[in-house]
Structure 1
Amino acid sequence: MTVADLLPTPVDYDLRPRTLRADLTAGITVGIVALPLALAFGASAGVGPAAGLVTAVVAGIVAAVLGGSNVQVSGPTGAMAVVLAPIVATHGAGAVALVSLLAGVIVLLAGVLRWGRVVTLLPWPVIEGFTLGIACVIALQQVPAALAVSTAPGHSTLLSALDAAKRAITAPDLVPVLWAVGTVALAAATMLLLPRLQRALPASLVAVAIATLLVEVLGAPVARIGALPDALPLPVVPGIEPGVVGELAGAALAVAALAAIESLLSARVATSMTRVPYQPDRELVGQGLASIASGLFGGMPATGAIARTAVNVRAGARTRLAAVTHALMILSILYLATGPVSRIPLAALAGVLLVTSARMIPAATVRAVFGAGRGTALTFTTTAVLTVALDLVLAIQIGIAVAAFLALRHIARSTAVHRESLPDPAEPGDRHIALFRMEGAMFFGAAERVFTTVHDRSVDDDVLVVILRLSRLDVLDATAARGLGELVGNLEATGVTVLVKGVRGEHRAMLDRVGGLAGLRHEAHLIDDLDEAVEHARSHVRRAEFAEIDEVPLVDGRRRHSVPRPRGPSGPANP
């Protein structure tokens, strides 16, 4: 990737009056929707509402100009707030800027190294389970503010929510609790009912405005956002010390993974809505630079925001100008309206986020997941539960592992071996020939089962020759190739002649490397044509019927007929 790949191009913008008007309208709409979310996510992460505003402005502009999607909207998100909360609890709010800087560098390098397509490897139930888990965590994070209980950020969101509920119930004065609950209910009800009455109005902003106005008029004793900066802070490089960087390296890696995954998923959603392709590697570069810039201004790590991106598209956005306008809209509020914004009740923001979390995964999606089968449901449930109970990145890793295990088990079950009849016309000695067709993916998860079946059905019957048909094998890994060699060797040791038919070229290379064909009695026993293999096997049986038969003990105590090998005219054993 060159610098030229990151620079704006004429395709990124369209300044024709009609398109320009659509972008400006969409940007203003998204800015109004994003304002309460930016405040709420900053507060939820433990770094304060101001950090959420700074992130929405700085990261929003950088990602819009340098990212890989024309309609992506970036800024603080609920998932990022969930990841940052335990970091703030352990290292303090001051560490977030450094984490943002480090995570931005990691995401930037991922884009430069062209890892943008990695997100396509994530299984669908893992993504949906992760989304449901995030929604639950966001909802749990709002419990203290919704109950007017101040709690220190902790690693366990669930335990913190339970503790807040217990403290609210046992509080000596329930008046603040009731006011907070009422404010939450008012904001949530407005968000749910307003779209049914007037879909054009931004429900979240109207909900916050109504709740704030009512609380102000009634003089309710509820906590407010508090003082906000009336301008962007000057950029400052966070203190970088080797010891501190080492302590935050794990957190930065988790943040970077989340930023990359969420941004690319959001860009994919935008592409599905607009049919306009995005550039995944450029998107990572843009998001990495956005997080770096946000960290320099004291903000949070940024990601592409799926909900705001969807609003941007539905509002008619055509180019990157819409996302830039959204950031400038929030910046104007930061300069002109910090006074009214500072009076917003925290409980109102909690109500907005509770509704937002409830809408993150539709019921239809959950029904589709559970209708897709037990394996899909298990992966989905495991990822969701671990996201709430443990760690987001760990939940994704374990979810992928569960999905991979179930997929391998399914592939292993589809790998089969069948004993087939020999082609007509039949001959009297055909009962001494076993023809096995192997098909599917022969790998470590299926090889032992298949080869054991072949071995047992060969030594238990009166079989003198085994033909192994390998032409229908799609995959042959090293374990299976080695196991095939052991099968051939074991059968030959019991006096059974093995013929291998139809080895593919790519499989032959693997078999040669691990000695999978070394146990064959003669190189002529590696055959490409089935009719030729069957005739070769029948010739062995015909010679056996006229040869002297000796009985020799086997290793396992059974006895098998051993056929002397007639010598050809040139001396070596006839294959």
Structure 2
Amino acid sequence: MSVLGGTREFLPGRADYDLRGPAVRADLLAGITVGVVALPLALAFGISSGAGAAAGLVTAVVAGIVAAVFGGSPVQVSGPTGAMAVVLAPIVAAHGPSSVALVSILGGALVLVAGAARLGRLVGFLPWPVVEGFTLGIACIIFLQQVPAAVGTTVPAGLNPLVGAGKALAAGVSGWAVATVAVVAVLMLVLPRLHRGLPASLVAVAVAAVGAELAHAPVARIGNLPSSLAPALPSFSFGAVHDLAGAVVAVAALAAIESLLSARVAATMTRGGPPVGPTRPDRELVGQGLASIASGLFGGMPATGAIARTAVNVRSGARTRLAAVVHALVILAVIYAAAPLVSRIPLAALAGVLLVTSLRMVSLATIREVVHASRASAITFAVTAIVTVAADLILAVEIGLLVAAFFALRHLARAARARRDDLPGPPTPADEHIAVFRFEGAMFWGASERVVTDIAAAADGALVVILRLSRLHLLDATGAKALGDAIEELEARGVTVLLKGIQDQHQHLLATTGALAKLRHGNHLFASFDDAAAHARSHVQRAG
């Protein structure tokens, strides 16, 4: 029964949907709106990844439905994304398009296991500057990746996006391609101002496609698309799995991080609006893992939660998962009804969509907030963004976390101190031979040596030292050992050490590291500062 009870939270149920008329109508309208917006993005991200437009459509449909049904967010929309396309591009360049389906299945399995292991809440440990730097880096990569298609040239696969963009510009510029991009960009920027309800990206792509056909423009087109969906198991071998192991881990990490971040953004967007139900991060990982597995079985790409499409879904009034399911069905209808028309869309038109999308991903206000928050946040943000563009997305997150951790530990270390304190009550002649230190902050490996060195130096000439530990918030093994060494050094100099206010959570650590054994007497532990001061004064008077 416990196993069944543990898995039930990951399974879909009747509570996931609101079948009352107003909610169903809101979900249908939101789903249609998102489907129209998602169609050109699915095509563009599929092509950008190297897997092809068909893979993008398959992912939007199959993964979109599976993630909607099994995921943990009521309003999350899943499918191919720019970040995943960035990760997949070098994989396709190294192993070919056929590797994408296998990577999708294996990566999805890892995400599924992470959800079953209840690791979904770990995304809360990602610092804000790392998230924003990661987002800026992805936006830059998406922009740079579209430069070759935007100028009508091709570059070798696997190049760094910045290098590829430079080579594309150096190879020459096609006026037709640039004009197509310009038409799409202008329409995407102008149409929302004329009518907010217009699907600007879809209208822009349609206008560009019709214009290219009427002018017989010599621009590259999408090409053949599937007219139906059917399972297609990828070829499997242990050698292929070994070769793709690193790629699988990178895909799984990105799918988990991006999906959970998107779900968290969606949860904040729904506050103050109609109730849509809670977000369950562990179930979200399970749903995204199943979605990528299903997508791979149909020849698609790994899926993640899509922040932009999810935002459109929420703003369009979505209440339940039905909206995300409808979005996928809208794209499916296009595959069956309009594949020949879609195949004639110029690649430059989709490049224009992604160029505008990448620019919209960058919030200048957010960048100002991060940069002005502190020097540490600005450096963490910049390092994460630069590594994302120059090297690797997962490496960028890892390095960003290390930089953020460095600054956090440095701040914690600087806050750790042992302040010189006064004795309570009226002063006595014995007080000049008593040194009192009040510990504040943390005694850990990054600060303990400095703190105990300061104590040893400041206690010169004292006969008794009182260490007040009641305000010591953090103590690790290194700090406890350093404290014991300081006690041993002072006692060896003939200085009696008294400890006051040891917290319960620190008592065992101080005992096991031998710090308490370094005291001259076991009765040199005090709960009251007054008692410790009285004992110190009595000891000095006896010594005199």
Normalized against structure 2, the TM-score is what?
A: 0.97
- In the other structure, the counterpart of 1:34 is 38
Paired amino acid for 2:374: G
Do structure 1's residue 369 and structure 2's residue 370 form an aligned pair?
yes
- In the other structure, the counterpart of 1:338 is 339
What is the CA–CA distance in structure 2 between the aligned matches of 1:254 and 1:154, rounded to whole Å? 16
CA drift of 1:128 comes to 0.5
Do structure 1's residue 512 and structure 2's residue 508 form an aligned pair?
no
User: Contact conserved, 2:233 with 2:299, CA < 8 A, in 1?
Assistant: no
What is the CA–CA distance in structure 1 between the aligned matches of 2:362 and 2:165, rounded to whole Å? 21
Higher CA-based Rg: 1
Q: Deviations over 1:458-516 (max 9, x none)?
A: 12xx2111111111101110000000010000111111111111111111100111111
- In the other structure, the counterpart of 2:126 is 122
User: Contact conserved, 2:449 with 2:482, CA < 8 A, in 1?
Assistant: yes
Do structure 1's residue 521 and structure 2's residue 520 form an aligned pair?
yes
- In the other structure, the counterpart of 1:561 is none
Q: Deviations over 1:357-402 (max 9, x none)?
A: 0011211100110110110011100000000000000000010111
Could you tell which deviates more after superposition, 98-107 or 273-282? 273-282
- In the other structure, the counterpart of 1:449 is 450
- In the other structure, the counterpart of 1:352 is 353
Classify 1:167/1:140 alpha carbon distance in 2 versus 1 (closer, same or farther; 3 Å).
same
What is the CA–CA distance in structure 1 between the aligned matches of 2:228 and 2:430, rounded to whole Å? 94
Within 5 Å, which residues of 2 pair with 1:25-104? Answer: 25-104=29-108
- In the other structure, the counterpart of 1:266 is 262
Within 5 Å, which residues of 2 pair with 1:129-528? Answer: 129-168=133-172, 177-232=174-229, 234-275=230-271, 276-459=277-460, 462-528=461-527
Q: Deviations over 1:163-213 (max 9, x none)?
A: 111112xxxxx5xx1111111111111111111111110111011011111
Paired amino acid for 1:258: L
Secondary structure at the counterpart of residue 42 of structure 1: helix
Paired amino acid for 1:484: L
Paired amino acid for 1:506: Q
Secondary structure at the counterpart of residue 221 of structure 2: coil
What is the CA–CA distance in structure 2 between the aligned matches of 1:119 and 1:236, rounded to whole Å? 33
User: Contact conserved, 2:484 with 2:515, CA < 8 A, in 1?
Assistant: yes
Secondary structure at the counterpart of residue 518 of structure 1: helix
What is the CA–CA distance in structure 2 between the aligned matches of 1:4 and 1:476, rounded to whole Å? 40
CA drift of 1:4 comes to 2.9
What is the CA–CA distance in structure 2 between the aligned matches of 1:434 and 1:412, rounded to whole Å? 23
User: Contact conserved, 1:259 with 1:301, CA < 8 A, in 2?
Assistant: yes
Could you tell which deviates more after superposition, 73-82 or 427-436? 427-436
Paired amino acid for 1:192: L
User: Contact conserved, 2:444 with 2:478, CA < 8 A, in 1?
Assistant: yes
Do structure 1's residue 8 and structure 2's residue 9 form an aligned pair?
no
* Consecutive unaligned residues in structure 2, runs of 5 or more: 272-276
- In the other structure, the counterpart of 1:562 is none
Paired amino acid for 2:446: G
CA drift of 1:3 comes to 4.2
CA drift of 1:255 comes to 0.3
Q: Deviations over 1:198-231 (max 9, x none)?
A: 1110111011011111111111111110111111
Secondary structure at the counterpart of residue 466 of structure 2: strand
Q: Sequence identity, in percent?
A: 64
Paired amino acid for 1:193: V
User: Contact conserved, 1:125 with 1:379, CA < 8 A, in 2?
Assistant: yes
Secondary structure at the counterpart of residue 523 of structure 1: coil
- In the other structure, the counterpart of 1:544 is 543
After superposition, the CA RMSD in angstroms is: 1.0
Could you tell which deviates more after superposition, 290-299 or 265-274? 265-274
Could you tell which deviates more after superposition, 350-359 or 442-451? 442-451
Secondary structure at the counterpart of residue 468 of structure 1: strand
What is the CA–CA distance in structure 1 between the aligned matches of 2:106 and 2:150, rounded to whole Å? 33
User: Contact conserved, 1:85 with 1:155, CA < 8 A, in 2?
Assistant: no
CA drift of 1:541 comes to 1.0
Paired amino acid for 1:179: W
User: Contact conserved, 1:465 with 1:498, CA < 8 A, in 2?
Assistant: yes
CA drift of 1:10 comes to 2.0
Q: Deviations over 1:221-252 (max 9, x none)?
A: 111101111111x2122222111101111110
Secondary structure at the counterpart of residue 440 of structure 1: strand
What is the CA–CA distance in structure 2 between the aligned matches of 1:421 and 1:107, rounded to whole Å? 57
- In the other structure, the counterpart of 2:114 is 110
User: Contact conserved, 1:222 with 1:345, CA < 8 A, in 2?
Assistant: yes
CA drift of 1:424 comes to 2.3
- In the other structure, the counterpart of 1:533 is 532
What is the CA–CA distance in structure 2 between the aligned matches of 1:481 and 1:365, rounded to whole Å? 41
Normalized against structure 1, the TM-score is what?
A: 0.92
